[in-house]
Amino acid sequence: MKIKYIAAVLIAIAGLGLQQAKADTFNFTSDHCTAACGPQSSFGTVTLTQVGSNVNVVVSLLNGNQFVKTGAGGNMYFLFDNAGITLANITSISGAPAGTTAFAGPIHADGTGDWAWGIGCASCAIGGGAAFPGPITFTVTNTTLAAMEVGHLVSGFGTELFVADILSGTTGATGDVDVNTHVPDGGATVMLLGTALGALGMARRFIMS
């Protein structure tokens, strides 16, 4: 009887793992800072996870970089596109100063064009003195990974997906960095799938024994 209970738990864990196994991680690699924020192999990452009909977003910075509010980023900490949502779909923002909320565009960021949506704080101070490390997290409801990963074409730079305005931890400069690729790092997806498939295998062995 105990074996059956254990098997049921393992199957439930496997099902949860498979549900969560739709995740893409992108790296900020393009440097648009006036005085150069790099060189850095990655300024940070954007991880998108599909959970049911929603997408959870985690924007993390690396190498001592911090989020900052400047005119270069349209006075936003983070910018993205998604043609299928409204402002009400951007919820549960955390990891940023009090007063941080979502804004509708067009919002212009230097070197990367105009963006549909921004995460920013109208009441927060401008410049490096108000920088913070994050990560910034939020949820976009009633959307998909595909809709979040469309991006837009900027002449001379390529297809931009996401922008962050940062204070560089290596040079002290401020400005925009962006994700300039449609090829995600599949590590998070592979890890979650591996966990789910491992649990399924264990459940199968318990049931067969």
Q: What percentage of the chain reaches a pLDDT higher than 90?
A: 64
Beta pairing partners, 14: none
**Total number of domains constituting the chain:** 1
Backbone angles phi, psi at 128, to 5 degrees: -65, -25
Neighbour tally for 15: CB within 10 Å: 14
pLDDT at 154: 58
Task: Flag whether 144 is in a domain.
Answer: yes
- For 154, the domain range is 24-184
Q: What is this structure's pTM? A: 0.78
At 128 the pLDDT is: 87
Is 32 domain-assigned?
A: yes
Whether residue 201 is contained in a domain is answered as no
| SS3 labels along 122-191 | CCCCCCHHHCECCCEEEEECCCCHHHHCCCEEECCCEEECEEEEEECCCCCCEEEEEECCCCCECHHHHH
In a domain, 204, yes or no: no
In a domain, 206, yes or no: no
Flag whether 193 is in a domain: no
